[in-house]
């Protein structure tokens, strides 16, 4: 007698060995996809969408690549998730976290083949991760007492982060921009106050940091081009009702003069609204929606600068930095909070005119204007800069710094190896495997640079057996170099997040012994 099937017809299940195989294969494939983007000599990927316009993205940011992939394999989805979380949490290390998780699974696959139970591997990995974190903690540098040194640390971190991105040629310039912008935030991690405007034209070197806020709009005709001590009302309201345009409304009149009366009434209504707005005692009115010619004329007569169609992102941020609130009704002026700034003027960037608000209420606000050859370059530059800003704002809060260039992985691997020697039983195999997975990161960095990774990593390991060694891979000269002298630093928070997220993701995938795919929903034939 055949056992009745529990699942529906089209549902499928993979059990035991096959399920584990599918998980490992999916996760390792994702790792192999992004690992060529790791390190200063990492390459970029082109992502082309099949939608309208076939948008093309050129990037080497792990999270951006993985976000754009549509993937069926459940284990691969876990890795994509950790890279997204890494991106939201600390901003950088999105590729490293996927590579480390993939390498842990690659090692685990060999152990499972050697008949070691996944739970044993997991508990070994747990011990190893704890040990690796402690090893790093003993070697961190913390310069928060010394402002000069700390600023130098921030510069080094920014340059290290940017060196694997499109901005690596002008990394000193951009690191300076990023550090200045983050120093203005005075310890808050709210990157809303840093606005990035992208203007095609010029070269990346022409990018600059400007204090205050820049709105990508032109000033209307006949309006003041420059206002000092501005009082700003930020609004989201319809200023286009001076013509009859209620859709579907039909007005029956028996003469043309009646139409003129209706138009007159509409104009009066508009005039009253404008009077109410002027009664707030403002000299700058920024609206999210259209402002028609008639109200614009009234504002110009009153000497008020009226800016229309400032997109939602623009007015949200403008309200934030000028200390105002977005208003939509104007009946009681005392309850509306106005924004303030010292000076509003029109500036030119390239061919475009923009409006510049300087001396804003929120002192930490600033704008980074990026210039570049094309939209693709600018998008990638913005992603790179955003990574650097995220890392720096996290480092300002958690000021611990470690060296970069494969140094932290070697320090952790050495400590984990020691632990493996002292641990009895099968766990020691898992701990040893963890150390091999850590060493894979410097190996991949060297491989991507076209160097002999086996030779370099062996040299590195030998160097690290000396006390207090700062050796890492110097990709530029293609040899083992002193990371402290080269000024290659990374934030401890990023490294810690990579280590812990990757270990947890690998554990999660290792625990799987069955994959059940549910049956697709059938469309009912509607007849």
Q: What is the pLDDT of residues 156-199, one digit of tens each?
A: 999 988 888 887 788 889 899 889 888 887 777 777 778 888 88
pLDDT of residue 432: 94
pLDDT tens readout for residues 461-496: 998 888 888 888 988 888 898 988 888 898 999 999
Percent of residues, the chain, with pLDDT higher than 90? 23
Kindly report the average pLDDT of the chain as a whole number: 85
pLDDT top residue among 40 and 54: 40
pLDDT class of 1 with cuts at 50, 70, 90 = very low
Q: What is the mean pLDDT of the segment spanning 106-112?
A: 92
Exactly one of 31, 57, 59, 61 is catalytic; which is it? 61
Is residue 466 left, alpha or beta, with left meaning phi > 0 and alpha meaning psi from -120 to 50? beta
Report the alpha-carbon distance of residue 379 to residue 213 in Å, rounded: 20
pLDDT band at 73 (very low <50, low <70, confident <90, very high): confident
End-to-end alpha carbon distance in the chain: 39
Give me the catalytic one of 31, 59, 64, 95.
95
pLDDT at 405: 86
- What was the pLDDT predicted at 241? 65
Contact 473, 461 (CB under 8 A): no
Q: Could you report the per-residue pLDDT of 384-421, keeping only the tens digit for each?
A: 898 888 889 888 888 899 998 889 999 999 999 999 99
Q: Considering 170, 387, 417, 474, which one is annotated as catalytic?
A: 387
310 DSSP assignment:
-
Question: Does the pLDDT at position 248 exceed 80?
Answer: no
Q: CB-side exposure of 197: number of CA atoms within 13 Å?
A: 25
Note whether 286 and 315 are within 8 A (CB).
yes
Structure tokens that stand for 253 in this block:
């009149």
- In the residue annotation, 61 being an active-site residue is answered as yes
Q: Does the active-site annotation cover 95?
A: yes
Residues near 402 by beta carbon (within 8 Å), at least 6 away in sequence: 136, 139, 140, 141, 408, 489, 490, 491, 492, 495
Pair of tokens at residue 255: 């003469």
pLDDT at 414: 92
pLDDT beyond 80 at 297: yes
- Residues contacting residue 43 through CB under 8 Å, at least 6 positions apart: 36, 37, 60, 448
- The residue annotated as part of the active site, out of 59, 64, 94, 161, is 94
**What phi and psi, each to the nearest 5 degrees, are found at residue 284?**
-150, 130
The pair of structure tokens assigned to 226 is 């420059």
| 110 pLDDT tier (thresholds 50, 70, 90) | very high
Question: 3-state DSSP call for residue 55?
Answer: coil
Confidence of residue 247 (pLDDT cuts 50, 70, 90): low
Residue with the larger pLDDT of the pair 433 and 316: 433
* Mean pLDDT value of segment 293-310: 82
333, pLDDT greater than 80:
no
Confidence band for 497, pLDDT divided at 50, 70 and 90: very high
**pLDDT of 500 over the 90 cut:** yes
User: What is the rounded average pLDDT of the residues 78-87?
Assistant: 90
Neighbours of 349 (CB within 10 A): 19
Q: What are phi and psi of 470, to 5 degrees?
A: -110, 25
Annotation says 94 is catalytic: yes
pLDDT in tens, 347-372: 888 788 888 888 877 667 788 889 98
Instruction: Kindly report the pTM of this predicted structure.
Output: 0.85
Q: How far apart are CA 346 and CA 357, in angstroms?
A: 9
Residue 203 has pLDDT above 60, yes or no: yes
Q: What is the mean pLDDT of residues 95-122?
A: 93
Tokens read off for 310: 């400032």
Q: What's the pLDDT score for residue 435?
A: 94
Please report which confidence band the pLDDT of residue 8 belongs to, taking 50, 70 and 90 as the band edges. Answer: confident
> What's the pLDDT tens digit per position in 28-52?
999 999 989 988 888 889 988 887 7
């Amino acid at each position: 007698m055949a056992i009745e099937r529990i699942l529906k017809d089209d549902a499928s299940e993979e059990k035991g060995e096959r399920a584990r195989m599918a998980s490992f294969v999916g996760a390792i494939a994702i790792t192999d996809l992004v690992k060529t983007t790791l390190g200063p000599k990492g390459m970029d990927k082109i992502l082309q969408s099949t939608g309208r316009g076939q948008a093309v993205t050129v990037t080497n940011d792990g999270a951006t690549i993985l976000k754009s992939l549509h993937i069926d394999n459940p284990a691969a989805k876990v890795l994509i998730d950790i890279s997204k979380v890494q991106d939201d949490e600390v901003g950088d290390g999105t590729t490293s976290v996927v590579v480390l998780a993939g390498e842990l699974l690659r090692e685990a696959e060999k152990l499972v083949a050697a008949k070691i139970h996944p739970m044993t591997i997991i508990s070994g990995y747990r011990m190893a991760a704890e040990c690796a974190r402690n090893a790093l903690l003993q070697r961190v540098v913390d310069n928060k007492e010394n402002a000069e040194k700390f600023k130098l640390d921030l510069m080094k971190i920014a340059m290290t982060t940017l060196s694997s991105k499109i901005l690596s040629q002008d990394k000193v310039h951009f690191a300076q921009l990023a550090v200045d912008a983050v120093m203005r935030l005075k310890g808050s991690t709210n990157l809303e106050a840093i606005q990035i405007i992208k203007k095609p034209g010029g070269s990346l070197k022409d990018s600059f940091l400007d204090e205050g806020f820049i709105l990508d709009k032109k000033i209307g005709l006949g309006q003041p081009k420059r206002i000092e001590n501005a009082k700003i009302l930020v609004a989201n309201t319809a200023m286009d009702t001076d013509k009859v345009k209620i859709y579907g409304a039909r007005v029956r009149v028996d003469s043309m003069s009646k139409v003129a009366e209706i138009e007159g009434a509409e104009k009066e209504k508009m005039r009253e609204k404008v009077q109410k707005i002027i009664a707030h005692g403002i000299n700058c009115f920024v609206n999210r929606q259209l402002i028609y010619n008639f109200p614009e004329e009234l504002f110009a007569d009153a000497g008020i600068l009226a800016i229309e169609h400032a997109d939602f992102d623009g007015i949200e941020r403008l309200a934030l930095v000028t200390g105002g609130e977005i208003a939509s009704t104007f009946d009681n002026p005392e309850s509306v909070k106005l924004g303030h700034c010292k000076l509003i003027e029109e500036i030119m960037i390239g061919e475009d005119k923009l409006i510049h608000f300087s001396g804003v209420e929120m002192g930490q606000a600033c704008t980074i204007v990026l210039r570049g050859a094309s939209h693709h370059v600018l998008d990638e530059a913005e992603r790179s800069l955003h990574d650097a800003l995220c890392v720096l704002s996290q480092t300002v809060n958690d000021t611990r710094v470690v060296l970069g260039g494969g140094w932290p992985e070697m320090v952790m691997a050495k400590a984990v190896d020691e632990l493996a020697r002292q641990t009895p039983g099968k766990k020691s195999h898992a701990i040893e495997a963890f150390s091999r997975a850590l060493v894979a990161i410097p190996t991949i960095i060297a491989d991507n640079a076209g160097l002999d990774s086996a030779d370099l990593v062996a040299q590195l390991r030998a160097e690290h057996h000396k006390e207090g060694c700062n050796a890492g891979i110097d990709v530029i000269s293609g040899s083992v170099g002193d990371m402290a002298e080269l000024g290659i630093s990374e934030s401890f928070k990023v490294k810690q997040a990579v280590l812990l997220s990757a270990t947890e993701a690998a554990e999660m995938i290792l625990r799987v012994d069955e994959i059940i795919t549910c049956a697709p929903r059938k469309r009912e034939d509607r007849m």
